Chain A
Amino acid sequence: MVVLTAKKVTKRFGGLEAVSKVDLEVKENAIYSIIGPNGAGKTTLFNCVTGFYTPEEGEIFLKGRNITGMSPDRVTHMGVSRTYQNIRLFKNMTAVENILVGMQPHLKSGVLGAIFRDKGTNQEEKAGIEEANRLLQFIGLKGKGDLMSKNLPYGEQRRLELGRALASKPFLLLLDEPTAGMNPSETQEMVNFIRRLRDELGITILLIEHQMRVVMSISEQISVLDFGQKIAEGTPQEIQRNPRVVEAYLGRGAASGLGQATTAA
């Protein structure tokens, strides 16, 4: 089953086409990567999918439903969640509170419930806190729930952001450079963690990643963007052999030495 479909999505900023006629098809339970040089339009594409931008042309479907132009909160309610390239936690809220905010789509109680604390609201709040503690354990932050999120070390902040994204119980998770700024061993941990998300929780993963080692080892499908256009799509092996990709990354001259480039990678 196809979870996410993008059809000829175009997003312009003034005269610049940040994303230009991009097609995308992400199957259920896949780990799908989007790669490309800086400024290729990867994050813009993410922003289109999550509803933060409305594309000028084209359409985006989520499990067959057209979500083009939908507001971000409604897209999240449909089961999409994301993390950010530069960590964007609620800095002055504790780890638990960050996760509780992430649970927003599943909350039913309203203002009156909040004021009068009826049984339903109390149960919901209690269940939420229990769930948040379970999630904290899952992301390896057990016992750090009451710490201000800005006081956590970098790696834990990354994981907390992931935990917050998981709190909405998404079926599609968009990760924007989850290993940015990490050393090799931390990176490996993150890779394993992403695999677990897919294998244990059955979440489809759409990934933006710069580290080729990560991309090639984890992804099942890869799309390559360059200047807003999709220039290649395929399995890691296919992408590594694709001359247009090597050209986009290393320049025209390098494309002729394709054989050496792939062995070096």
Chain B
Amino acid sequence: MISKSSDWVAAVKNGLIGGIISVLLCLVGIVVAFGKTYIISGVITMGQVFVLAPILFESYMTVRRAKSNKTLPLLIVGALAGLMGGVVLVVLVGIGQVINLRAVLLNASSDLYALLTFNLPLAVGLLLLLGTSLVVGLVAPAVFLLPVRVQSAISQATLTVLVIGLFRDLLVTVIIRWGLVQYAFLWLFAQSGLKIIGAVTLFVLVGGLSYWRLGQDRKAQALKRSPRQQQLIRWGTLGVLVLIALLLPVILGSYFSEILDNVGIYILMGLGLNIVVGFAGLLDLGYVAFYAIGAYAVGVLTTPEAMGLLHLNFWWALPIALGVALLAGIILGLPVLKMRGDYLAIVTLGFGEIIRIVVLSDWLKPALGGSEGIQHIAQPNIGRLVLATQQQIYYVILVGIVIAGFVASRLKDSHLGRSWMALREDEDVAEAMGINKVSTKLLAFGMGAIFSGLGGALFAARITSVYPQSFSFIVSINILSLIIIGGMGSIPGVFVGGLALVGLPLLLSQFADFRYMVYGAVLVVMMLTRPEGLWPEARRRLELHEEMKEKGTGPKDEPQTVLKTPGR
């Protein structure tokens, strides 16, 4: 009976952990911030999801790790974990009744207690809270006992309902632009979140679809296709993607185009930094410097104000701006790239701050405007048409992204890409193979600088003014984080990372306050569970999971160890 009793202990422990995470989320304020955001109207809010999700997760983990595999013990263990989570929450509310926590913990407000007790009288509310936790705890083993295919279908369906409910406002704003088509969708939504009937429909639809898809042996199907068919499918997918990319601002409207532009500039710079960090393995923490240089160069060259130099139009200023960014990259890189990793990180970090402070300084105020920055920056034009709206600028950014993506993917599969990889693996040996360390690294660094400069130039043209405040250290960190989350060295990963890290916080304004908390949490969880990123490059996946396998903690399925060289 030892194993059984250890299951109990684990249930209590995990339940407490789940409860503590919930309490943490409560005290951070995220629960109350989302307290009125319904996922399913009148049934559940996002705030409640934040409270219950950690409990569900811990209960699920308890059940999954449990040594027993019989139905009843699993149900009891799960319920116990859920109950323990509930107890922690009850304790929080209890303490809150006796002591005024708010003196220290700003978010331990009466709103929070009301939310946790379902706006009911205290005793009833607490009982209901315990009951709900218990039920949530029971859901985990119930789902766990189902076949894997059903499990995946349920989780996908739940996730879809959650996301669509959460983004209700945004989706509705988009949908009402679609003329008659809107009525096919609008009935799903309530004033806040989804209608119950809408949620059920979505759940059944998505669940059914994913259940059906999981039943298909897609690998066998893919193998059956002839190379010609495969190529057709590839081009078809590409065509659809291009079409979507082109139509996006028209479908989404100006508000979303603004967000899209923001994300786009980050993706553009991410593609550049990916060459530096992902391909060449050079940790550049001052990437924002080149962004600032590109933006200010365009500013100074095009503004009609007194500080303007040549009053050029955007297209003439752009190559000069890129040249200046590249030059800055070379000047910074030449002395630093001889050194090893850590020094580069520190020097670039310093460089980024120096550029910002220099721009802000009184000394350069006559030229760069100090904290007031530069206004009336020229926007790109095509003939007489000035691309002034967010939707129009989007296309310029899109072209930039396509160029950056093209260059990055070509470089990756070239002898330069291999040289970078070799330098990343073993600098000394790479040198002994005839690779010139400094010039090869400088090339990556310069490429990164050019794309960062391009990002800056487009940023300046988009908002027609630049201020030093836009170029803080956190921009570098954001871009670096999006690469890490997407998958180091992976080009599609940059897009995924950009959408997830830059897009989501902009879309959900309630999230904005918790942005960096979520960043941190996501990064930590990613490093622990999926260090290769959301859309990893094949090589990194092999690299990381091989190592895990050696340590005996990796996934059980045999990782593929063959990597095809293009052209072979």
**A contact set with B: CB distance below 8 Å:** 50, 52, 71-73, 76-77, 81-82, 84, 88, 90-94, 96-97, 100-105, 107, 109, 111, 113-117, 121, 125-126, 128-129, 133, 145-148, 150-151, 164, 168
B568 neighbours in A (Cβ, 8 Å): 96, 129, 133, 145-146
Known pairs A100-B418, A101-B422; A73 contacts B431 (CB<8 A)? yes
Residue contact A148 to B542, C-beta cutoff 8 Å: yes
| Complex CA distance for A221 and B279, rounded to whole angstroms | 45
Partner of A90, one of B425, B434, B437: B425
Q: Is B564 among interface residues, defined by CB-CB distance under 8 A?
A: yes
In angstroms, Cα B414 to Cα A109, docked, is 10
Contact of A102 among B406, B410, B433, B543 (CB under 8 A): B433
One digit per residue, 1 when the CB lies within 8 angstroms of any chain A CB and 0 when it does not, for chain B 521-560 equals: 0000000000000000001001100100000000000000
List 9 extra interface pairs beyond A73-B437, A90-B421, CB under 8 A: A90-B426, A90-B429, A101-B421, A109-B415, A115-B406, A116-B410, A129-B567, A129-B568, A133-B568
Q: Name the CB-closest residue of A to B446.
A: A111
Decide if B312 is an interface residue (CB 8 Å cutoff): no
Tell whether A114 pairs with B432 under 8 Å between CB atoms, given A145-B568, A147-B562.
no
The verdict on B419 contacting chain A, using a C-beta distance below 8 Å, is yes
Closest beta carbon of chain B to A22's beta carbon, Å: 21
Of the candidates B422, B433, B543, B567, the one having the most CB atoms from chain A within 10 angstroms of its own CB is: B433
Q: How far is the CB of B548 from chain A (nearest CB, A)?
A: 14
Distance in angstroms between the alpha carbons of A82 and B417 in the assembled complex: 23
Docked Cα-Cα span, A72 to B543, in Å, equals 28
Q: Complex: how many Å from CA A103 to CA B434? A: 8
Contact of B434 among A92, A105, A114, A133 (CB under 8 A): A105
A145 touches B565 (CB 8 A): yes
Partner pick for A150 among B410, B432, B546, CB 8 A cutoff: B546
Whether B418 pairs with A93 at a CB distance below 8 angstroms is yes
User: How many Å lie between the Cα of A82 and that of B422 in the bound state?
Assistant: 16
Task: Name the residue of chain B whose CB is nearest to the CB of A167.
Answer: B433
* A-B pairs, 6 with minimum CB distance: A114-B414, A76-B434, A104-B434, A105-B434, A90-B425, A72-B431
Say yes or no for B106: interface residue by CB 8 A criterion.
no
Q: Is B411 an interface residue (CB 8 A)?
A: yes
- CA A121 to CA B425, docked complex, whole Å: 25
Residue among A81, A102, A115 making CB contact with B411, cutoff 8 Å: A115
Q: Pick the contact of B539 from A92, A101, A126 — CB < 8 Å?
A: A92
Q: Is B435 interfacial (CB-CB < 8 Å)?
A: yes
Distance (whole angstroms) from the CB of B279 to the closest CB of chain A: 12
Least Cβ–Cβ distance between A105 and chain B, in angstroms: 4
Task: Please judge, given known A-B contacts A129-B568, A145-B565, A147-B562, whether A168 and B425 are in contact too, CB under 8 Å.
Answer: no
List B contacts of A76 (CB < 8 A): 432-434
User: Complex: how many Å from CA A92 to CA B540?
Assistant: 9
B contact set with A: CB distance below 8 Å: 406-407, 410-411, 414-419, 421-422, 425-426, 428-437, 443, 539, 542-543, 546, 561-565, 567-568
Q: Which residue of A lies closest to B443 (CB)?
A: A111
Instruction: Tell me if B410 and A77 are in contact (CB < 8 A).
Output: no
Q: From the candidates B418, B431, B546, name the one contacting A97 in the complex (CB within 8 A).
A: B418
The complex places the Cα of A27 from the Cα of B431 at a distance, in Å, of: 26
With both chains docked as a complex, state the minimum distance between the C-beta of B402 and any C-beta of chain A, in angstroms.
13
Q: A105–B428 Cα gap in the complex (Å)?
A: 16
Contact between chains at B411 and A73 (CB < 8 Å): no
Across the interface, which residues of A come within 8 angstroms of B434, CB to CB?
A: 73, 76-77, 102, 104-105, 168
Report the minimum CB–CB distance from A6 to chain B (whole Å): 18
User: In the complex the two chains form, what is the Cα distance from A141 to B424 in whole Å?
Assistant: 25
Collect the chain A residues with CB atoms within 8 Å of residue B542's CB: 92, 148
Chain A residues lying within 8 Å of B564, measured Cβ to Cβ, are 146
The reply to whether A84 and B567 contact each other, CB–CB distance below 8 Å, is no
A258 to B432, CA, bound (A): 41
Nearest-neighbor residue (CB-CB) of B421 within chain A: A93
15 contacts between A and B (CB under 8 A): A72-B431, A92-B543, A97-B418, A100-B415, A101-B419, A101-B421, A102-B433, A111-B443, A114-B411, A114-B414, A115-B414, A128-B415, A146-B562, A147-B562, A151-B546
Instruction: Identify A129's interface contact among B407, B417, B565, CB under 8 A.
Output: B565
- In contact, B411 and A92 (Cβ under 8 angstroms): no
Beta-carbon nearest neighbor of A102 in chain B: B433
Given A50-B432, A82-B432; A117-B410 close (CB under 8 Å): yes
A201 to chain B, nearest CB (A): 18
Q: Enumerate chain A residues within 8 angstroms of B416, measured Cβ to Cβ.
A: 111, 114
Q: Which of B406, B432, B437, B565 contacts A96 (CB 8 A)?
A: B565
Chain B residues with CB under 8 A of A84: 429
Q: Provide the residues of chain B in CB contact with A100, threshold 8 Å.
A: 415, 418, 565
A77 to B434, CA, bound (A): 6
Q: Which of B415, B431, B563 contacts A71 (CB 8 A)?
A: B431
In the assembly, what is the distance between CA of A159 and CA of B128, in Å? Answer: 70
Which residues of chain A are within 8 angstroms of B436 by Cβ–Cβ distance? Answer: 71, 73
Instruction: List the A side residues contacting B410 at CB < 8 Å.
Output: 114-117
Which single member of B407, B425, B432, B561 contacts A151 (CB below 8 Å)? B561
Complex: A176 Cα to B199 Cα, angstroms: 69
Q: In the complex the two chains form, what is the Cα distance from A68 to B219 in whole Å?
A: 58
Question: Bound complex: CA of A116 vs CA of B416, how far in Å?
Answer: 13
Complex contact A104–B415 (CB within 8 A): yes
Q: What's the minimum C-beta distance from A156 to chain B, rounded to whole angstroms? A: 14
A93 touches B425 (CB 8 A): yes
Q: Which of B407, B418, B428, B546 contacts A101 (CB 8 A)?
A: B418
